[in-house]
Amino acid sequence: MNGRGLFVRILVVAIGFLSACSHGPEVGKGQRIAEEYCAPCHDLTASSSIRHGPPLWGIHQRPLGNIEQFNYSPSFQERRKEGDFVWSEMNLDRFLGDPRGLIPNNRMSAWDPGLHASPSSGEPGKSMDLVRASLASMGHYEPFRGFKNPSDRQDLIAYLKTLGAKGEDGRKEAPQPSK
């Protein structure tokens, strides 16, 4: 085999390997990530019930902090006042990669004992302690620090985009925004 033939064979194998490695986001993998890491605190269904965190149904392109029934952390409330933040792919990726970097002191990544998890608790940290205990019983011991693997983030975002995706009539089923 001459040098050129060997080069062509190596090139073909390399291209095949690279194309096998470079795949697009996998919705199924994103769903598994969401069920393991998001569902303990966030509702992923169309019922959009409030849990420790706001529901994720219809999150893609939703304005920040617009679920009326949810008590957002002060950092989310301050960022919302700027009025220009939506959960775009870029913002989802940034938040899922470094939640403290995008919105410092948010409840999801900080678990600040001085923050209330819900308006029903008048004692700072009490409801957070209950949430921590509940999460610990499910194997979640730490505040969310972000997904460092970009592929995991893209898979999760691909799945989140399917939650409340627009139907044939162009309407999106999502939680009612606050007024």
Q: Which domain holds residue 93?
A: 27-160
Assigned domain for 54 exists: yes
60 and 76 Cβ atoms separated by less than 8 Å: no
Residue 95 domain flag: yes
- Look up residue 2 and give its amino acid: N
Q: Has residue 165 got a pLDDT over 90?
A: no
SS3 for 177? strand
Does the residue 17 lie in any domain?
no
Domain count, the chain: 1
pLDDT of residue 134: 65
CB–CB of 44/38 below 8 Å?
A: yes
pLDDT band at 135 (very low <50, low <70, confident <90, very high): low
Q: What CATH number is given to the structural domain containing 150?
A: 1.10.760.10
Q: Is residue 144 part of a domain?
A: yes
Q: What is the pLDDT of residues 139-162, one digit of tens each?
A: 555 678 899 999 999 999 999 999
**Hey, which of 21-30, 37-46, 117-126, 128-137 has the most confident mean pLDDT?**
37-46
pLDDT tens digits for range 40-86: 889 999 988 888 889 999 999 999 999 988 989 888 999 999 988 99
Q: Does residue 51 sit within a domain?
A: yes
